[in-house]
């Protein structure tokens, strides 16, 4: 049996994240995935996408599909912060568009990750330009996107 993990962190980017979140190496990361029988994963660091690390980890001979992703702090209409995970296409124009998105939002700058947030109304048109999955924290997963926001 193989598994999918679409919420992998590899770099501590926020002040409250432990340094143990930093993955030691590509070999370490891939071996942990292999041990857990994960054949598809997405790297979704908080407010940060490291293109070099992604390209390194995605280019592997372990038979593990590594997808580009990011977990964003999102300001909802009521001012409450939530998290949204974007999982991008890993090939062709889809990956180029994802990479352009992180450059435009400056989420390719680790030093900006701790203070980054984006308004949901600003994010929606940007997401529509991407070939991606959108996963909202919801219910018991904090910080969650609230019911009122999901209705709209």
pLDDT band at 20 (very low <50, low <70, confident <90, very high): confident
pLDDT band at 103 (very low <50, low <70, confident <90, very high): very high
Which residue bears the tokens 């919801």?
138
CA distance 13 to 109: 10
Report all structural domains of the chain as residue ranges with CATH numbers, in order of start.
Answer: 3-151 (3.20.20.140)
- As separate numbers, helices (DSSP H) first and strands (DSSP E) second, the chain gives 5, 6
User: How confident is the model over 21-69, as pLDDT tens digits?
Assistant: 899 899 999 999 999 999 999 999 999 999 999 999 999 899 999 999 9
CA distance 139 to 137: 7
pLDDT of residue 40: 97
Residue 94 has pLDDT above 90, yes or no: yes
């Amino acid at each position: 049996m193989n598994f999918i993990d679409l919420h992998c962190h590899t770099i501590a980017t926020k002040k409250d994240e432990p340094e143990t979140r930093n993955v030691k190496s590509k070999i370490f990361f891939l071996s942990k995935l292999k041990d857990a029988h994960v054949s598809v994963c997405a790297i979704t660091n908080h407010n940060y996408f490291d293109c070099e690390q992604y390209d390194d980890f995605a280019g592997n001979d372990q038979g593990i599909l590594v997808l580009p992703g990011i977990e964003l702090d999102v300001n909802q209409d009521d001012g409450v912060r939530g998290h949204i995970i974007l999982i991008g296409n890993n090939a062709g124009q889809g990956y180029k568009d994802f990479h352009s998105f992180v450059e435009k939002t400056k989420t390719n700058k680790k030093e900006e990750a701790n203070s980054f947030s984006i308004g949901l109304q600003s994010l929606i048109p940007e997401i529509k330009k991407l070939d991606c999955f959108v996963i909202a924290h919801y219910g018991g997963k904090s910080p969650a996107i609230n019911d009122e926001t999901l209705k709209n």
